[in-house]
């Protein structure tokens, strides 16, 4: 459907003798009124006419410009509405989905045909557990980077691990102090335990804080013992983080933590001092910065009075290094909104340095997870890990699935809706546990991605683990239903077969409104992906998949898919099911949601 917008914008531009962009065309709220609508309000001032009159005049002018048998056009109040004929939709949408000869699937553009786009996301702290609020930046960044890659951008993903800073000096002290209590083979939970304990010790002995700063300074200076302890902590942490990433279908091109830029810091600071950009202020070295709007900001500290760097220093070095490596057109930091001021200062330093590409950098802010309005903090041990949330959701999903064990095998004819979802009784205990795990993961991911990423999210397990409404399991069940229908069609000898499908004849077969509604909904997939990138919100794709699932539900209720008495119609409708399955599968993959084959 994306290409039709371009054609219609061209016709409208000719008819109005003004430039009309494809994005100006809207989708009518009532889809029976047409597929696209052009609002005439903005023309009213110049033409000094009422929008409904303008719509009628444009309709009269645009109709002769279009070839016979293409678009239907009519004025509806202040809108010029267009309807795409069935044959054109079949040739544009169904053909591209089912008979795509390109190297990328439907909705994608040629690989690396667009500019370089660097994404930084996740960035957990070494020696701390993967907490639930880390999930937001991880899956938002992962989804956006996957969609950008599919849409033709040359994408690079970076995990900017928090593996440098004063905390690692304190951790080294803790590991020495409590060495006698630790197992021979350390795990991440052991590092967390001593980190929490050392902060308790600081409350009664503040001198440990100073000792930690001194220990980190030794680490920066290359002390062998400190380096060995630090490296062990990094290796333990990254190995466990990678297990989480694999589970959530998250990949990175580079694990470049803050330490990756360590050797670049002193030369960078020296250069900034020589140029007079970095100046001394009360013992520390700072850069005077302004916001992009020109507002003066507090100075950005790059070197503390004791000579140690801070994370702003390392972020600055990282930005410069990345541009040197990639010459990106865009670099997106997917990081919590509490870091907004930090990025304002960082971008301000780049501007102070006269860096032209600073305007290509952006902060995609994400909100926090909240449990009973309490922001989690690792410092005193008051935190909720992702593993804990996952376990809670798996238990809920398992209970829900077992409660829905049906006395009869579930069939594709089952109506949609939570109260009608039944688990196949022939599934083994192991299969049910696996499905529960997939359902829990899908529920967690969708609950997060389906809302505006800038908003805080209060997690409610009872709400997210549901087969009804706007939830991950609802989408998973829709995909599984498509698989089930296709499996049954194969068993009854009416399987989807590209060689038996005559696309040119389908316009006479697709007569039910539900068939065309579904087909046109599938055609909105490419535009949805582009809109998701433009808004930097995976929630746009989530909304689309929910709407597609509903359209598929209407199609299935109103149109009998397998009709042995009409093989031509059966094959045509099975083709629609297969097309829906492919788009649903691709959409779920982009979001990082598992696709159970059975439910």
- Sheet with strand 79-83: strands edge to edge: 36-39, 79-83, 72-76
Residue 260 in 3-state DSSP? helix
Same domain? 316 vs 240: yes
Task: Among 305, 335, 370, identify where a domain stops.
Answer: 370
Q: Which residues lie closer than 8 Å to 584 by C-beta, 6 or more apart?
A: 475, 478, 479, 482, 545, 548, 549
Is residue 64, in this structure, part of any structural domain at all? yes
Is residue 317, in this structure, part of any structural domain at all? yes
Same domain? 166 vs 26: no
Same domain? 418 vs 561: yes
Same domain? 396 vs 364: no
SS (H, E, C) 346-368: HHHHHHHCCCHHHHHEEEEEECC
Is residue 526, in this structure, part of any structural domain at all? yes
φ, ψ for residue 292 (rounded to 5)?
Answer: -65, -25
Q: Which residues lie closer than 8 Å to 90 by C-beta, 6 or more apart?
A: 503, 506, 507, 510, 519
| H-only helix segments in 221-260 | 224-247
Is residue 379, in this structure, part of any structural domain at all? no
Q: What is the DSSP letter of 141?
A: H
Same domain? 64 vs 195: no
Same domain? 355 vs 393: no
φ, ψ for residue 385 (rounded to 5)?
Answer: -85, 160
Same domain? 358 vs 402: no
SS (H, E, C) 413-457: CCCCCHHHCCECCCCCHHHHHHHHHHHHHHHHHHHHHCCCCCCCE
Scan for tokens 């579930």, then name that residue. 410
Q: What is the value of pTM for the model shown?
A: 0.89
Q: How far apart are CA 346 and CA 335, in angstroms?
A: 13
Scan for tokens 């995609």, then name that residue. 364
Region at 19 (left for phi over 0; alpha for psi -120 to 50; beta for the rest): beta
Same domain? 565 vs 506: yes
Residue 27 tokens read as 């989708």
Is residue 548, in this structure, part of any structural domain at all? yes
Same domain? 501 vs 467: yes
Burial 54-85 (b: 16+ CB within 10 A, else e): bbbbbbebbeeebeeebbebebeebbbbbbbe
Number of domains the chain contains:
3
* Pair type for strands 72-76 and 284-287: unpaired
In order, the DSSP letters of 490-536 are HHTT----GGG--GGGGGGT--SHHHHHHHHHHTTHHHHHHHHHHHT
Is residue 14, in this structure, part of any structural domain at all? yes
Helix (H) or strand (E) holding 257, with range, is none
Is residue 100, in this structure, part of any structural domain at all? no
Domain ranges, residue 69: 2-84
| Torsional sign, CA 273, 275, 281, 287 | negative
Q: Give 135: exposed, middle or buried? Use CB within 10 Å, 0-12, 13-18, 19+.
A: buried
Helix 311-326 with 340-352: angle, nearest 10 deg: 60
Task: Among 84, 99, 132, identify where a domain stops.
Answer: 84
Residue 408 tokens read as 């009869």
Q: Can you give the CATH number for the domain in which 56 is found?
A: 3.30.1360.70
**Along the chain (599 residues), what's the average pLDDT of each consecutive run of 10 residues?**
89 94 91 92 92 96 86 95 91 89 88 97 91 91 98 98 89 93 92 92 93 89 92 94 95 95 94 97 95 95 86 96 98 96 98 97 92 44 76 88 64 44 69 91 94 88 80 93 93 81 82 93 96 97 97 95 86 94 98 92
Q: How far apart are CA 93 and CA 1, in angstroms?
A: 7
Same domain? 420 vs 559: yes
Is residue 108, in this structure, part of any structural domain at all? no
Task: Among 304, 338, 370, identify where a domain stops.
Answer: 370
- 405: which strand partners? 423
Give the model's pLDDT for residue 380.
46
- 365: which strand partners? 335
Same domain? 341 vs 234: yes
Q: How far is CA 301 from CA 209, 214, 281, 283, 286, in A?
A: 20, 19, 9, 11, 4
Q: Are the beta carbons of 75 and 52 closer than 8 angstroms?
A: yes
Q: Can you give the CATH number for the domain in which 501 is found?
A: 1.10.730.10
Same domain? 435 vs 569: yes
Residue 3 burial (CB count, 10 A): 15
Q: How far apart are CA 508 and CA 347, in angstroms?
A: 59
Give the model's pLDDT for residue 419.
44
Q: Can you give the CATH number for the domain in which 175 is found?
A: 3.40.50.620
């Amino acid at each position: 459907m994306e290409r039709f917008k371009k054609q219609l914008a061209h016709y409208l531009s000719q008819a109005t003798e003004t430039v009309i962009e494809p994005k100006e065309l809207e989708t009518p709220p009532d889809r029976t009124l047409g597929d696209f609508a052009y609002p005439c309000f903005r023309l009213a001032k110049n033409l000094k006419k009422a929008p409904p009159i303008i719509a009628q005049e444009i309709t009269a002018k645009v109709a002769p410009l279009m070839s016979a048998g293409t678009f239907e056009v009519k004025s509806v109040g202040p809108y010029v509405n267009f309807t795409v004929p069935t044959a054109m939709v079949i040739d544009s949408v169904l053909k591209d989905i089912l008979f795509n000869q390109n190297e990328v699937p439907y909705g994608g553009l040629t690989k690396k045909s667009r500019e370089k786009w660097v994404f930084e996301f996740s960035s957990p702290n070494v020696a701390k557990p993967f907490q639930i609020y880390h999930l937001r930046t991880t899956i938002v960044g992962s989804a956006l980077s996957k969609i950008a890659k599919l849409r033709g951008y040359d994408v690079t993903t970076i995990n900017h691990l928090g593996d440098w800073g004063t905390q690692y000096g304190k951790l080294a002290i803790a590991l020495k102090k409590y060495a006698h209590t630790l197992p021979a083979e350390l795990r991440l939970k052991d590092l967390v335990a001593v980190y929490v304990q050392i902060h308790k010790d600081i409350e009664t002995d503040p001198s440990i804080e100073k000792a930690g700063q001194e220990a980190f300074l030794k680490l920066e200076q290359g002390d062998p013992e400190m380096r060995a302890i630090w490296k062990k902590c990094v290796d333990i942490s990254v190995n466990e983080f990678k297990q989480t990433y694999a589970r959530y279908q998250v990949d990175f091109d580079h694990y470049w933590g803050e330490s990756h830029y360590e050797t670049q810091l002193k030369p960078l600071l020296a250069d900034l001092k020589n140029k007079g950009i970095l100046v001394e202020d009360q013992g520390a070295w700072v850069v005077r910065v302004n916001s992009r709007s020109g507002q003066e900001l507090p100075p950005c500290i790059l070197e503390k009075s004791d000579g140690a760097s801070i994370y702003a220093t390392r972020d600055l070095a990282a930005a410069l290094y990345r541009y040197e490596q990639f010459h990106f057109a865009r670099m997106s930091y997917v990081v919590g909104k509490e870091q907004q001021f930090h990025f304002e200062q960082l971008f301000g330093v780049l501007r102070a340095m006269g860096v032209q590409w600073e305007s290509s950098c952006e902060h995609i802010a994400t909100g926090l997870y909240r449990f009973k309005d309490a922001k989690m903090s690792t410092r005193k041990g008051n935190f909720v890990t992702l593993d804990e949330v996952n376990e809670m959701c798996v238990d809920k999903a398992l209970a829900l699935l077992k409660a829905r064990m049906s006395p009869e095998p579930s069939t594709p004819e089952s109506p949609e809706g939570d109260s009608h979802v039944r688990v196949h009784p022939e599934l083994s205990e192991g299969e049910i546990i696996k499905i529960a795990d997939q359902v829990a993961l899908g529920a967690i991911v969708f609950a997060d991605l389906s809302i505006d990423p800038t908003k805080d999210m209060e997690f409610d397990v009872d709400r997210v683990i549901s087969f009804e409404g706007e939830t991950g399991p609802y989408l998973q069940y829709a995909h599984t239903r498509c698989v089930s229908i296709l499996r049954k069609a194969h068993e009854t000898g009416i399987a989807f077969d590209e060689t038996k499908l005559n696309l040119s004849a389908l316009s006479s077969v697709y007569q039910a409104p539900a068939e065309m509604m579904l087909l046109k909904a599938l055609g909105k997939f490419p535009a949805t992906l582009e809109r998701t990138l433009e808004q930097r919100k995976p929630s746009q794709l989530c909304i689309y998949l929910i709407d597609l699932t509903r359209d598929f539900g209407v199609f299935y209720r109103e149109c009998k898919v397998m009709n042995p008495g009409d093989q031509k119609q059966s094959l045509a409708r099975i083709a629609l099911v297969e097309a829906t399955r492919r788009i649903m599968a691709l959409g779920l993959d982009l979001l990082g949601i598992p696709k159970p084959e059975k439910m």
